[in-house]
Amino acid sequence: MDNREQEFKKRLLATFIAEALEHLGTISKGLLELEKSPPRMERGKIAEVVYRDIHSLKGAARAVNVSEVETLCQALEAAFSGWKRGDDIIPAVAFETLYRAIESIRAIVASLEAGGVVTESGKISGIIRELSLYGANGAKSAQSAAPPERDAPLPTAEPAQLLSSATVRVNAQTLKKLLLHSEDMLTSKYAADEDSARINAIAELMEVLRTGISRTYIDMMPLFEKLSSGRQTALNPQQTTELEEFFNWAATGSREISSKIHALVKSSSLHKKNLDKMVLDLLDKTKQAMMLPLSSLLESFPLFARDISHAEGKSVELTLRGADIEMDRRILEEIKDPLIHIIRNSLDHGIETPQARAALGKPPRGSITITASQTAGANVEIAITDDGAGINAGKVKQAAIASGLIAQKDAETLDNREALQLIFASGISTNKIITDISGRGLGLAIAREKAEKLGGRISVESTPDKGTAFRLTLPITVATFRGILVKSSGRTFILPTATVERTAKFKPGDIRTVENREAVELDGRALSLARLDAVLGLPIKAKKKNEASEAPVTVLVLNSEERRIAFGVDEIIGEEDVLVKPLGRQLQKVKNITGAAIIGSGAPVPVLNAQEIIRSAAKAVPSPLATTTDEEEAYQGKILVVEDSVTSRILLKNILEGAGYHVKTVVDGIEALSALKTSEFDAVVSDIEMPRMNGFDLTRKIRADKKLSELPVVLVTALETKEDREQGIEAGANAYIVKSSFDQGNLLSVLQQLI
C-alpha cells in the first residue's frame, strides 16, 4: 500500500471515530430516557432516533471495515426494529445487554483511536446472542429469557471522548463566513504593504538629511571653534552662502519628510480602523467555530454515573439541565477532568447506599444534577448538586488545623461556609477531610487551579445529610481581558486588572517594618507590603544610592478570598487587552504564573496568577529593605564589558567592580549580543576592534533591536581619528572614550550620567 493510500485510510478512520462517538452519544442518551419508561408516544419517538443512529453507525463501520462494530450494530438494529414503533416496552433486563453492547462499541472505537487493534471480539458474540432474543423474531421469547450473566466487568469508557478526538465538525455556514472574513483581511495586507513602502521612502529621505546635517556639523566645527575662541569674529561671504544654502537644503528636506509623514499618518489611521474591525469580526467568527454545546462533554456522564454506582451497589440517577449552552471547546476540554472528579466524589462519598438512604427517609435512588446556566457577563455556572451525605464542616476544620493550613484561633473565626472552601486547598490531604476519597486527594485542588486558570471560580455548599453543591463559574469563551503591565526587577509582567483593587504610591518614610515584614497604611487600615521581585525570586535590583531614600514605591493592592496584600513594583507601564496563552506543553504548571500574553512588540510577557502570588507572599518573604547589606547598597548596576584583549578586559572589570557595578565580560560583539539576549544589563562598555563583530556593528545591532535600543553604549577605543569618532556617533554610541586619554574617573562619570 503506498503512503497516500495509507494516509487516506488514516484520515477516514479518524472521521469514523468522530462520527461514531457522536452516534454513541445519541444512542446512550436515548437508552437512558427509554429506561425511565416514558409514555408510549414519546417512547416511539426516542426509539426511532436510536434506531436511526444505530443504522447510520452500522453504515459508517462498514465503510471503514470495522466488522465488529458492524455486526454489533446489526444485532442492535434487529432488536430495535421491534421497539421503534413504541408498541412494545423494552424489558428491563434488555437494558443491561444494550448498555453492554454500547460499551463494547465504545471500547472498540477507543482502541481504534489509540491506534490499537480490536480486542473485544470475545465478548461480542455473547452480546449478539443475547440481543437476538429481542427484535422482530425474538420478542416473544424475551420475557422468558433468563437475566444475562455479567461475566466480565464492563470496559468503563472515560466519558466525553468526543472532545479528545482530533477532528471537529464545523457548521458549513460558519466556515464560509470565516473564509469571507479572511479574504477581507487581504485588503489590509495590501494597505500595510503600501504603508511599508511609504515608510521606507521616508526613512531614505531621513537618512540623506541626517548624514547631510552631521557632515556639515563636522565640517563647520573648526569654524565654530574659531568663532567661540574669538580667532574669527564674523563669517566671510563664502561661509555665509554655505550656511544659507545648508539651512535652505535642510528646511526643504524636513518639509518634504513632514508632508510625507502626514500622508502616512492619515492613511495608517484609516487602515487601522478598518483592520480593527476586520480582526474583531474574524476573531468573533472563529470563536463561534470553536463553540460546542456543553452536552458534547456531558452526554456520556449519565451512563458513566450509572456504571460506577452499579459497581458500588448504589442506585443513582444523573440528570443534565441546560446542556445546550454553548462553550468554547478549549474550556470544555479543560474542565472535563475536574467535572469527572467532582462527580466521582459525589458517587463515592456523597450518595449513600440504598439501605442508608432508606434509614434517613430519603428515596432509595440518589440523584446528581448537573445544571448549566448563563449568568451575568459572558459566564456559565455549572452546578453539580447531589442529595447525599454532605460534607462535615467541623471535620474539614480539624483536618486543616492538623495539616497546619490554618491556626486554631483562625479556624474559630471561620463560619461553616468558609470552612468548607478549605477542601480546595492543595496543602492538605483531602483524604483526612472526606473519609478515604478514592484516587487522588488533590483532585479538588486541581479543579480550583483549572477554574482559576480559565478566569473562573469554584465554590462548595453543603448541608449534612441533605447534600452537596459544587458551583463552577467559567467564561463562555477564552476571552481577552484587561491586564496591567508592570515592571519588577527590570522585567515586565501582567496582572489581570480584575484582580487589582487599586494602585497607590508610598514614600519610603510611610513604610513601617513590623516583625521583619513591611507594612503600609491605606484608608486607615494596615496592609502588608510585599516586593514583587522578592515574591517571584527575581534578582533584587537595589536602588542607586542617591535615589534610594527619596523614590516613592508604586504598589498594587491585590485581593483574594482570604487576604489583601500590597505588591511593590518598579513601575506601572500601562493597561492593555491581553489574551492569556498556555506556556507550551513542557511548562504545565509554573508557580505564580498563569500563562503568557503576546504584547505589541511580539514578545511574550508572563501573566501572574493573583491568588498564587498572594499565597506566595503570605509565606515568609524577607523584606529586601531589612536584608539590605552594605554590598547591595553600593550596587550601581550591571555592566557588560566587551573587549578582546585580556589585559583591557581585566582592567575594565576591576575599575567597574571597584565602583560597585556588577560586571560580565565577553570577548566580541557576537558574544555580547547573545549575553544581551539572555540577561539584563544597565550599560555596555565595548572595544571597537574585535574579531567576528566589531564595536560599531555591535552598537548598530543594539540600536536596531526593539528591546535594547535605549541601552547606553560606551565605546572605549584606541582609534582616535575624526572619522572613527564620527562613525561611532553615527552608529549610535552614547559616549566615545579614547584609550590613550583614558582615565578611570572619566569612564565612571560617563556611566553615572548614562545610567
Partner 1 sequence: MTEINKNTADAASEKLRSILKERALRVAALPQTNIPAAEKMMELTEFTLSGEKYAFESAHIREVRPLEHITPLPGVPAFILGIINVRSEILSVIDLRKFFDLPEKGLTNLNKVIILSSPEMEFGVLADDATGGRVVNADNLVKTLVTLTGIREEYLMGVTTDRTAVLDAGKLLSDKRIIVREGVET
* 3 is a site residue for partner 1 (CB under 8 A): no
All cell numbers assigned to 630: 552594605
280: contact with partner 1 by CB under 8 A: no
DSSP assignments along 474-527, one per residue: EESS---EEEEEEEETTEEEEEEGGGEEEEEEE-GGG-EEETTEEEEEETTEEE
User: Which residues in the 417-436 window bind partner 1 by CB under 8 A?
Assistant: 426
What x-and-dash track marks residues 491-530 binding partner 1 by CB under 8 A?
Answer: x---------------------------------------
User: Which of 291, 347, 411, 536 is in the footprint of partner 1 by CB under 8 A?
Assistant: 536
Question: If we measure between CA atoms, which residue out of 300, 226, 209, 307 comes closest to residue 261?
Answer: 209
Give 328 or 352: the residue with its C-beta nearer to partner 1: 328
Contact 59, 40 (CB under 8 A): no
Query: Do residues 506 and 513 lie in contact, with contact meaning Cβ atoms separated by under 8 Å?
Result: no
Question: Angle at the Cα of 387 (from 385 to 392), degrees rounded to 5?
Answer: 90
Is 585 a binder of partner 1 (CB under 8 A)?
Answer: yes
**Nearer to partner 1 by C-beta: 413 or 601?**
601
Q: What is the distance between the terminal CA atoms of the chain, rounded to a whole angstrom?
A: 68
**Which residues in 454-493 contact partner 1 (CB under 8 A)?**
491
CB contact set of 635 (below 8 Å; sequence gap of 6+): 541, 542, 660, 661, 662
Minimum Å distance from CB 572 to partner 1?
Answer: 19
Q: Which residues pair with 736 in a beta bridge?
A: 715
3-state secondary structure of 2: coil
Closer residue to partner 1, CB minimum distance, 536 or 652: 536
State in angstroms the smallest separation of the CB of 596 from partner 1: 5
Among 70, 120, 449, 518, indicate the residue that binds partner 1 (CB under 8 A). Answer: 449
From 52-60, 505-513, 593-601, 709-717, span contacting partner 1 (CB under 8 A): 593-601
Residue 486 and residue 110: Cα distance in Å, rounded?
47
Task: Give the alpha-carbon dihedral of 293, 294, 300, 305, to 10 degrees.
Answer: -160
- Find the shortest distance in angstroms from Cβ 538 to partner 1: 5
Q: Which stretch binds partner 1 (CB under 8 A): 27-35, 179-187, 554-562, 587-595?
A: 587-595
Count of beta carbons in the 10 Å neighbourhood of residue 720: 12
Nearest approach, Cβ of residue 403 and partner 1 (Å): 13
**Span 22-61, contacts to partner 1 by CB under 8 A:** none
**Window 540-579: contact mask with partner 1 (x via CB under 8 A):** ----------------------------------------
Among 173, 229, 678, 741, binds partner 1 (CB under 8 A): 678
Least distance (Å) from partner 1 to the CB of residue 703?
16
Interacting span for partner 1 (CB under 8 A) from 75-83, 130-138, 235-243, 582-590: 582-590
446 binds partner 1 (CB under 8 A): yes
- For residue 161, the minimal CB distance to partner 1 (Å) is 17
Binding residue count for partner 1, defined by CB under 8 A: 43
CA 450, CA 658: separation in Å to the nearest integer? Answer: 50
Q: Which position among 147, 591, 646, 689 is part of the footprint of partner 1 (CB under 8 A)?
A: 591
CA separation for the pair 324, 333 (Å, rounded): 16
| Dihedral sign from CA coordinates of 667, 671, 677, 679 | negative
In angstroms, what is the minimal distance from the CB of 179 to partner 1? 20
Strand order in the sheet with 637-642: 661-666, 637-642, 683-686, 713-717, 735-738
Q: How far apart are CA 476 and CA 330, in angstroms?
A: 10
Scan residues 597-616 and list those touching partner 1 (CB under 8 A): 598, 601-606, 612
581 binds partner 1 (CB under 8 A): yes
24 neighbors 32 (Cβ within 8 angstroms):
no
Closest to partner 1 by CB, 581 or 703 = 581
Which string of x and - marks every residue 687-706 that binds partner 1 (by CB under 8 A)?
Answer: -------------------x
Interaction between residue 442 and partner 1 (CB under 8 A): yes
Kindly identify the residues of this chain, within the stretch 703-722, that bind partner 1 according to CB under 8 A.
706-707
What gap in Å lies between CA 692 and CA 176, rounded to an integer?
A: 53
Closer to partner 1 by CB, 440 or 512: give it: 440
Choice between 188 and 379, CB closer to partner 1: 188
Would you give the binding string for partner 1 spanning residues 136-175, x where CB under 8 A is met? Answer: ----------------------------------------
Q: Is 10 a binder of partner 1 (CB under 8 A)?
A: no
Q: Cell 578611570 maps to which residue?
A: 744
Q: Which H helix or E strand runs over 624?
A: helix 624-627
Cβ proximity of 481 and 578 under 8 Å: yes
Q: Report the amino acid identity of residue 120.
A: E
Residue 483: all three cell numbers together: 491586564
Between 584 and 622, name the residue whose CB sits nearer to partner 1: 584
From the list 516, 593, 338, the residue with the least C-alpha distance to 444 is 338
Query: Could you tell me if residue 647 is left (phi over 0), alpha (psi between -120 and 50 degrees) or otherwise beta?
Result: alpha
Within 630-669, the residues that bind partner 1 by CB under 8 A are 667-668
Indicate the residue among 61 and 617 with the shorter CB distance to partner 1. Answer: 617
C-alpha cell read off for 488: 519588577
All residues at 6 or more sequence positions from 516 whose CB lies less than 8 Å from its CB, including other chains:
622, 623, 626
Please state the closest distance from residue 57 (CB atom) to partner 1, in A. 27
Q: Which stretch binds partner 1 (CB under 8 A): 310-318, 401-409, 594-602, 723-731?
A: 594-602
Q: Give min distance, CB of 477 to partner 1, in A.
A: 17
Three-class DSSP category at 179: helix
Beta-strand pair 316-321/366-375: parallel
Q: How far is the CB of 53 from partner 1 (least distance, A)?
A: 31
From 280, 275, 383, select the one nearest 325 (Cα to Cα): 383
Binding site for partner 1 (CB under 8 A): 426, 440, 442, 445-446, 449, 491, 536-538, 581-593, 595-596, 598, 601-606, 612, 667-668, 670-671, 674, 677-679, 706-707
